[in-house]
A and B are shown apart, each in its own frame.
Chain A
């Protein structure tokens, strides 16, 4: 009997433990399901999500490779693995990661935009509130498509959220993509507020600015018309005139890291000092900085004004530096570039030098031997050909020459003027990569130059000159304003491009500017000696990433030449 009791006991325990079928029920506790997007809170979350992929492109090396490299402004420095992007070498092919990075992230963003726009119809919110949110997202979708279509030409256009598995994709003509972009932007212009609820969200003037840029670009296209330039000019003028926006007296005030909400800024991609909000930071502070730390002793990598971590990716072409001349009339060179580095450690410091003295001296001056002797005597440790260089034309062949174009020296590949606009001293430590600078996308000075370019293309150089001069005179050193002014006769597309460079060099616009104006090949061949031998006509379009072509079940054609 005893045994049976045990048996019954065990069987009872066993039966109790045979829990019901809820073992097999799956309940999502820590995640959130897709239906959330249909709620008012979810809609806001979806709107926010539509921004994230901007950070995969703007302020990143791969994005800069597509916009900074291979232009008249910048060539490659000594470090980095993407020189082919600058040189238009064979590595610039369908498998090059910068193209896939842009393509994949922006199409993810587009699907997010499509989801928000589509689901908004179901969301229970007042129409105007809802439209303002949809307008934000349509602005973003227009931006994503604009960057894509300018890079890749005809491409896959989708305006609906993907439901289920899609394995096919098509290429629609650029014209169709442009029409979508314009539709989105017009909706944005009509529904966005003039001042944003939160900084970093697009506004009506930002949407108008972008629409001006889109029409301007379209004007050059085969499917564009002269009207497009007129529309672009009017749009830009509306931004300039209708909202009480004014240019700052200081041409570089908008780059102040402590004042990232400067009124000149129409729209910028947001980065934050809190690492939780910036898993991918603005990394441009790494890429444009030369390898200063190895050019003299007594000079350490450090955090602080004029120091930072150097990745030596983007080196200014000689043209970029010469384009600011005369340096004593146009203040922008002096205000934009760091050309001198100071000793910051006593360890190993050259005899006679102290911390704070000049350690590296780069200049555009026309130095004579006696000038050089005087500098060397005045600055202990500064030696011509070692850390004293001039990029003046006349220095060619001299020991202090910074030039490389004759191929006989290599002085500039790792040491060159560093732009202040990328400096980031708010990082917690010197090697911290994730910078917090916002990346300015659209700003009021650009609106002026867009207006000028549109007017020039509408044969209205008089008015164009006014907008250009507004930018130029405020950039003059005090008393030099009249020398900065140009006449209507001097306005041509090259001058506008030169002027754009003086304002926006290195700001991830240049490749698109050159392409838009049809000047990419001409100016790259003229000013970028590393890219000159290789660039071909077909390079005005980027290769469709191989991943796209191999994953579609139908044929996705490659661009010509690749």
Chain B
């Protein structure tokens, strides 16, 4: 104890000695009054300087003989201020396009953009907050190179699926790791209100991600939320309201066309249908179930603080109703971010987020409406007909619109809170402790009433599912930073961290509820229990991490990192893994030979190599185990256990080795860009390998096989016009990625059973190749294949006069070859216009919608397709056949190009003149009109949306466009 005290006394003495020079302090804010952490403050002509803290404050020691401070930040104009005899200098930074001094989060710290050795993309506050989006993931679409963000579904709250630099893993996850304010964020990021986000950084290469070790292989997304500062208290309101409508409407058969289909297909008519035909009935069911939806968001926030304390409090209400009235999403969030300085050296603070969301999932009435016969009528004498039309299974989709006919509420409560304490042990050594707790409670309540499409006169069903997840993260971080002289700067970070998670579930599913208004409550009153279950999963990770940055002569930067991770999921002896990386940056533009050229204002080359891991597997997977079986004997039960999985104690991390070369450049003052080339080789794949089932097992998890990702990324940002009244800026992101399976089982052979092929992407469409429809004059050839004219003609790839599994071929992949994002912003006086275009190229999609709704059977309504008849020798669709559920080789019709270009967003805004506003106590006010997805260009008919993360177009809720009106006010 005594020794410790002496040590600290010495440290403080050193610090005091260092402070015996002239010191300038102050706060840096942006034009709109927000504090600006991370602004670099450098004494001109030296390397002496600092970076503003979380509250925008800085304190810099100005050596004798120097008198000018330079303030810089990316996106802002650098400012030079003469110190004179001021001791406090508060600075307001002005917007600029091109800058190198932006400070970005890099994981366990921050760094100036110009000194970053890895591949990191950033998405700014403005880009995130401008779009009317539900979740943070959607903000990444088109904004960052290497990031593919595609819709997971079109129900409100479905969000997007994100892949960074393609996929690496065949059976383990390809989801990136999310880190919010320093703490890993498990699960669904749509709990986070995007309007609370200050910036997002996407860490892509091993140099950037290796500090996340075993969880870094899929890339890391760092989310930083807005904080307060030493600024006047500002109350802000941001809100918008928008109306949504479907992007397109599929061309379904009307009554007359459907009648003809049935006639051609030889499907008999019921008397009800004959009657409907006679009366000329043709019901447009889609019109009945699809309407306009709406979306609204209201955010009220207060930010402010003083020298010692900063706060940011915000609450948000988001609410959307889909174009199908029964599908809704509501989220309420509350955020409190606090920072307080106990003394000059000790700071504490918290980021706390409370979110409550409810997704009213509804039923798939869209699919129902597409299926039901146009000869059926929804009402008779004003009463709902539950089984309209010929087929009793085709329930009236409107029945699900009756209140409480179907209730499927999925609610999630989440408290994500972290606290930190930070001590400057000396000027160059800093200790930080983070403790983050994440509590999630999920509840699904499902009720299906007797008259709903799900029950169809059967007794009501109720289901209740609870999930509880508690995760804590505890981190100890030491940061060391030392400028030995202007040519030698050393920074080092060390980390010890522990994370543990506990996940419990329970479910009960019943039918035969005595009364309908009980919904999914009081389930013990049910006649029959369909299912009940409960489960527990626990895991833990322990880690040590170190990082060293060394900067030599302002030209050469070296970064070395290593992380040593232990995981409970792996067995003894395999628990620990080491993940190193090294990176190098060369600032060519600082070389003397570059002094005389004017083309490049900035030129940097980066190179990195490192290894990261993928946790991938679920807990207990190394252990093997028994599967519970269900049987009965007479009137009694007969539960049992059989061998269920093969134990594999040798499982270890899947590891990805990434090499990355990057070129950062500035052309003059107005253009900046980056170009990256990378290759990732992932080996020891955690592979759920399919094995011959004659062994009694369908698959086994193994570390086997290898994949490779190669890609390029280009980002360009430029200020095209910049005058006092008019500015025009643009950003281009263009990138391509090529996935390839290098090996599977060590012998370079394909795994046809899993549809994995050497040299091909991780998922391909492997199916029969439709080359047309057998025509009348080909009857004899068709007969060889036991086919008849009017049936689908398949390419006989292995020419043996048989169509069998050997005739399947690779028809494409659902992963795009290239992705484009182009955003632009024009400002004229108080007006702003911006847009964002995204594009996907080179992917093949499977149009399940068309396959499932062109069955040509005449039982369900059909897309109005061009089908074969004796008089219409088309090669598009086969001859209708009323005796088949779907045509032979039906799925072969579904494959096609998924390329699209979307205008993702367009916005026109007007900033009300500040001088007028200030008279009524308003700091600033902006009103805007926004169009979300106003245009889409693709090969799909009827304006249908090809965007789907897995490349499958389904007959679910359609995607939408939205026109909205919004307002941002600061008081």
A residues apposed to B, CB below 8 Å: 2-4, 6-8, 10, 13-14, 17-19, 21, 23-34, 36-37, 42, 44-52, 54-55, 76, 78-81, 83-84, 89-91, 93-95, 103-104, 107-108, 110-112, 114-115, 155-156, 158, 161-162, 164-169, 198-201, 261, 270-272, 274-279, 293-294, 297, 300-301, 386, 410, 413-414, 428-432, 534, 546-548, 550-553, 556, 562
Residue of A24, A104, A155 near B698 (CB, 8 A) is A104
| A residues near B885, Cβ cutoff 8 Å | 79-81
B residues apposed to A, CB below 8 Å: 4-5, 8, 266, 268, 270-272, 342-343, 345-346, 390-392, 421, 423, 425, 431, 433, 435, 455-459, 474, 476, 496, 498, 500, 511-512, 527-532, 534-542, 566-569, 571, 575, 619-620, 623-627, 629-643, 646-647, 689-698, 700, 702, 745, 751-753, 785-787, 802-805, 859, 882-886, 888
Contact check, A261 vs B459: say whether CB atoms are below 8 A apart.
no
Report the minimal beta-carbon distance from A34 to chain B, rounded to whole angstroms.
Answer: 6
Contact check, A25 vs B568: say whether CB atoms are below 8 A apart.
yes
- Name which of B271, B535, B626, B635 has the most chain A CB atoms within 10 A of its CB: B626
Report the minimal beta-carbon distance from B413 to chain A, rounded to whole angstroms.
Answer: 24
Complexed CA–CA distance, A19 and B512 (Å): 50
Given contact pairs A78-B883, A90-B888, enumerate 19 new A-B contacts (beta carbons under 8 Å).
A4-B4, A7-B346, A23-B541, A26-B620, A31-B623, A34-B626, A48-B638, A52-B630, A83-B883, A107-B695, A112-B643, A115-B643, A162-B696, A164-B646, A198-B634, A201-B633, A430-B458, A431-B457, A550-B751
Report the minimal beta-carbon distance from B905 to chain A, rounded to whole angstroms.
Answer: 43
Report the minimal beta-carbon distance from B597 to chain A, rounded to whole angstroms.
Answer: 51
Complexed CA–CA distance, A297 and B540 (Å): 64
Q: Which single residue of chain B is at the shortest CB-CB distance from A161?
A: B643
Contact check, B8 vs A7: say whether CB atoms are below 8 A apart.
yes
Q: Which single residue of chain A is at the shortest CB-CB distance from B422?
A: A10
Residue of A6, A26, A546 near B423 (CB, 8 A) is A6
Contact check, A31 vs B633: say whether CB atoms are below 8 A apart.
no
- Name which of B268, B474, B643 has the most chain A CB atoms within 10 A of its CB: B643
Complexed CA–CA distance, A265 and B496 (Å): 68
Q: Which single residue of chain B is at the shortest CB-CB distance from A429?
A: B458
Q: Which single residue of chain A is at the shortest CB-CB distance from B882?
A: A78
Contact check, A10 vs B640: say whether CB atoms are below 8 A apart.
no
Contact check, A81 vs B886: say whether CB atoms are below 8 A apart.
yes
Contact check, A21 vs B542: say whether CB atoms are below 8 A apart.
yes
Contact check, A52 vs B642: say whether CB atoms are below 8 A apart.
yes
Complexed CA–CA distance, A44 and B629 (Å): 12
Contact check, A8 vs B4: say whether CB atoms are below 8 A apart.
yes
Complexed CA–CA distance, A50 and B345 (Å): 69
Report the minimal beta-carbon distance from A141 to chain B, rounded to whole angstroms.
Answer: 12
Known: A37-B641, A200-B632. A534 touches B786 (CB 8 A): yes
Contact check, A166 vs B692: say whether CB atoms are below 8 A apart.
yes
Q: Which single residue of chain B is at the shortest CB-CB distance from A83?
A: B884
Q: Which single residue of chain A is at the shortest CB-CB distance from B627?
A: A49
- Name which of A24, A34, A114, A556 has the most chain B CB atoms within 10 A of its CB: A24
Contact check, B694 vs A158: say whether CB atoms are below 8 A apart.
yes
The 5 closest A-B pairs by CB, nearest first: A111-B696, A48-B640, A429-B458, A49-B640, A199-B634
Report the minimal beta-carbon distance from A193 to chain B, rounded to whole angstroms.
Answer: 14
Report the minimal beta-carbon distance from B317 to chain A, rounded to whole angstroms.
Answer: 37
Report the minimal beta-carbon distance from A253 to chain B, rounded to whole angstroms.
Answer: 18
Contact check, B786 vs A10: say whether CB atoms are below 8 A apart.
no
| A residues near B496, Cβ cutoff 8 Å | 18
Q: Which single residue of chain B is at the shortest CB-CB distance from A534?
A: B786
Q: Which single residue of chain B is at the shortest CB-CB distance from A554?
A: B692
Known: A261-B634, A428-B511. A23 touches B540 (CB 8 A): yes
| A residues near B752, Cβ cutoff 8 Å | 546, 550
Report the minimal beta-carbon distance from A426 to chain B, rounded to whole angstroms.
Answer: 12
Complexed CA–CA distance, A418 and B530 (Å): 29
Known: A24-B575, A28-B620, A37-B641. A91 touches B458 (CB 8 A): no
Residue of B459, B638, B689 near A51 (CB, 8 A) is B638
Contact check, A4 vs B8: say whether CB atoms are below 8 A apart.
yes
Known: A24-B567, A270-B634. A108 touches B623 (CB 8 A): no
Residue of A156, A201, A551 near B691 (CB, 8 A) is A551
Contact check, B632 vs A89: say whether CB atoms are below 8 A apart.
no
| B residues near A279, Cβ cutoff 8 Å | 531, 630
Contact check, B624 vs A49: say whether CB atoms are below 8 A apart.
no
Q: Which single residue of chain B is at the shortest CB-CB distance from A530?
A: B883
Complexed CA–CA distance, A429 and B542 (Å): 53
Contact check, B805 vs A297: say whether CB atoms are below 8 A apart.
no
Residue of A34, A79, A84, A201 near B647 (CB, 8 A) is A34
| B residues near A272, Cβ cutoff 8 Å | 632, 635, 637
Q: Which single residue of chain B is at the shortest CB-CB distance from A55?
A: B631
| B residues near A198, Cβ cutoff 8 Å | 633-634, 636, 638
Q: Which single residue of chain A is at the shortest CB-CB distance from B750?
A: A550
Complexed CA–CA distance, A14 and B541 (Å): 17
Known: A166-B692, A429-B458. A95 touches B805 (CB 8 A): yes
| B residues near A93, Cβ cutoff 8 Å | 804-805
Complexed CA–CA distance, A30 and B802 (Å): 50
Contact check, A10 vs B637: say whether CB atoms are below 8 A apart.
no
| A residues near B271, Cβ cutoff 8 Å | 297, 386
Q: Which single residue of chain B is at the shortest CB-CB distance from A198?
A: B633
Q: Which single residue of chain B is at the shortest CB-CB distance from A82?
A: B885
Contact check, B643 vs A34: say whether CB atoms are below 8 A apart.
yes
Complexed CA–CA distance, A294 and B390 (Å): 7
Contact check, B346 vs A3: say whether CB atoms are below 8 A apart.
yes
Report the minimal beta-carbon distance from A282 to chain B, rounded to whole angstroms.
Answer: 12
Report the minimal beta-carbon distance from B383 to chain A, rounded to whole angstroms.
Answer: 11
Contact check, B536 vs A29: say whether CB atoms are below 8 A apart.
yes
Report the minimal beta-carbon distance from B199 to chain A, rounded to whole angstroms.
Answer: 28
Q: Which single residue of chain A is at the shortest CB-CB distance from B537?
A: A30
Complexed CA–CA distance, A2 and B496 (Å): 26
22 A-B contacts (beta carbon < 8 Å)? A3-B343, A10-B421, A19-B498, A21-B542, A23-B540, A27-B538, A30-B537, A34-B647, A46-B641, A46-B642, A51-B640, A104-B693, A107-B693, A107-B695, A199-B633, A270-B638, A276-B630, A277-B632, A294-B392, A430-B456, A551-B753, A552-B692
